[in-house]
Amino acid sequence: MNYICSIILFYCFLLFSFYHLQAENNACANEQFQTIQLQNFEFRQQVESIINSNQSTHKINEDILEIPIAVHVLHLGEDSSVGSNISDLQIQEAIEKANSLWRNSFVTENSLSNDIKVEFCLAQYDPQGNPSTGIVRVNASSLPQYTETGIGYIEAVLQGIFGSDETQTKGLSDWNHSYVLNIWVVHKIAGGWGGYAFFPFGNNYPTDGVVITSNSMNKNSTTLAHELGHAMGLFHTFQGAENGCPANDLCFIQGDWICDTPPHKRSDCNNSACNNSADSILSFKNIMSYCSNRYIFTKEQKDRIRNTIFNSSRRALLQSTACSGIINAIPTTKQEKGLISIYPNPAQQEFMVEYPIKNNEAIQVHLLNIMGEVVFSTYLNSGLTHPIHLNHKLPIGIYNLQLKNKEAVIESTKIIIQ
């Protein structure tokens, strides 16, 4: 029994979300499966933990969050830019389109949408620190059933359609999931889907990431933006509509679990049988709907996305150096910014801060993690050099070092703790 079947038996569809890109009137079992997901205690607990997390996270930190991605093109042996082996330009244009939707810069009349302040960047360095385009190409045609049926997926298995083993297929090219969000471009998905994505809950599953067909990865499609929404914890706007209108009495735990996306059926894209308010457009034109010309993320979707990033496994991506590189982002010998110098950098529990401090001048040093939490603090004595000894082991990662004079930050820089 392959990994996909094991997922069916042991995890009850945990972590999966998917999207069907065929005609609007084609049958889609998506809502049935997500209903099953939400009946799973572990899955529901993970979703609720995001909702119950610090709801002011997005207000505390309104910085633009950079999510590094790696695109793995699993082609059928064609030359580059031919068939399923799509060109670098096509991939770059698809990412640019997704970013424009996430940053609310795609259409002129965009007052209904919100800038998520999240951007996706193609990795500029591979996990070994070598320069990279962030695009990897692998001939997957030798995998059983891949050429004929496409990558295997849970919905297809239930229908008796067996594609290539999902774990084996993705394993052909798979970067560390704490380093990048992996996107696999495939020629076909078993069952006829256009894409699907894992929810960011639980352990670092080998299949975590986004899958999208090669003909959906382009500048004219909103599929990538949609799937990235799933990857950051969003349901479809019509979630719960498998037996009629989605329940919405408790909007934060019913339907799509978002209160400012009015309930609607999958096919309701102009007039809603579930909600006749003017706000229905927030769902009809929502990126997480199946309607055409979609471009909207609501305010509460923005909140959910940012809370998910900060309070799930996705937060590790905020510390990644895939887009900047350790050498370019943080020199490994001595870093200078303004009057401050830190060395060695990277450091372990001891390092030196150089900064001129006058007598009777009260300067405090703070180390902040990626969440903006102070994890170490001490006062510096007068003089130029200041040895720092961390009194407890910090997790490996990038930290923001601040020098503060009373309540004002007078210098700040980055340090890597190994």
Describe the crossing of helices 30-39 and 41-51 by its angle, rounded to 10 degrees.
90
Asked if 362 and 285 sit in the same domain, the reply is no
Per-residue pLDDT at 153: 77
Asked if 237 and 282 sit in the same domain, the reply is yes
Per-residue pLDDT at 196: 87
Per-residue pLDDT at 303: 93
Asked if 278 and 392 sit in the same domain, the reply is no
Describe the crossing of helices 223-231 and 88-102 by its angle, rounded to 10 degrees.
60
Per-residue pLDDT at 361: 87
Per-residue pLDDT at 232: 93
Per-residue pLDDT at 309: 92
Asked if 252 and 334 sit in the same domain, the reply is no
What is the spatial distance between Cα 127 and Cα 19, in angstroms, rounded to a whole number? 30
What is the spatial distance between Cα 257 and Cα 233, in angstroms, rounded to a whole number? 10
Asked if 191 and 96 sit in the same domain, the reply is yes
Asked if 132 and 242 sit in the same domain, the reply is yes
Domain assignment present for residue 142? The answer is yes
Range of the domain at 347: 330-417
Domain assignment present for residue 189? The answer is yes
Residues shown for the chain: 418
What is the spatial distance between Cα 257 and Cα 301, in angstroms, rounded to a whole number? 9
- Give all strands of the β-sheet with 408-417 in edge-to-edge order: 374-380, 363-368, 397-405, 408-417
What string of pLDDT tens digits covers the 418 residues of the chain?
443 443 333 333 333 343 333 333 222 333 444 555 666 777 777 777 776 665 544 454 678 899 999 999 999 999 999 999 999 999 999 999 999 999 998 766 578 999 999 999 999 888 888 889 999 999 999 999 999 999 987 666 767 888 999 999 999 999 999 999 999 999 998 888 888 888 886 545 788 999 999 999 999 999 999 999 999 989 999 988 888 899 988 898 888 999 999 999 989 999 888 987 889 999 999 999 999 999 999 999 999 999 999 988 898 899 888 987 654 333 333 333 457 888 888 888 899 999 898 888 889 999 987 667 889 999 999 899 999 999 888 988 778 888 988 767 888 888 888 8
Asked if 186 and 256 sit in the same domain, the reply is yes
Domain assignment present for residue 239? The answer is yes
Asked if 68 and 44 sit in the same domain, the reply is yes
What is the spatial distance between Cα 350 and Cα 162, in angstroms, rounded to a whole number? 55
pLDDT in tens, 213-223: 999 999 999 99
Domain assignment present for residue 190? The answer is yes
Asked if 341 and 412 sit in the same domain, the reply is yes
Per-residue pLDDT at 81: 95
Per-residue pLDDT at 94: 96
Q: Is the pTM of this model over 0.75?
A: no
Asked if 206 and 297 sit in the same domain, the reply is yes
Per-residue pLDDT at 31: 40
CATH assignment of the domain containing 373: 2.60.40.3080
Domain assignment present for residue 324? The answer is no
The tally of domains found in the chain comes to 2
CB atoms within 10 A of CB 47: 20
Asked if 278 and 341 sit in the same domain, the reply is no
Q: Which of these three, 319, 350, 378, is where a domain ends?
A: 319
Tracing tokens 């200078």 back to the chain, one arrives at: 336
Q: Which of these three, 285, 319, 353, is where a domain ends?
A: 319
Domain assignment present for residue 34? The answer is yes
Asked if 256 and 301 sit in the same domain, the reply is yes
Q: Are 252 and 125 in contact (CB under 8 A)?
A: no
Domain assignment present for residue 67? The answer is yes
CATH assignment of the domain containing 169: 3.40.390.10
Domain assignment present for residue 44? The answer is yes
Per-residue pLDDT at 268: 92
Q: Which of these three, 319, 342, 357, is where a domain ends?
A: 319
Phi, psi angles (nearest 5°) of residue 284 = -60, -40
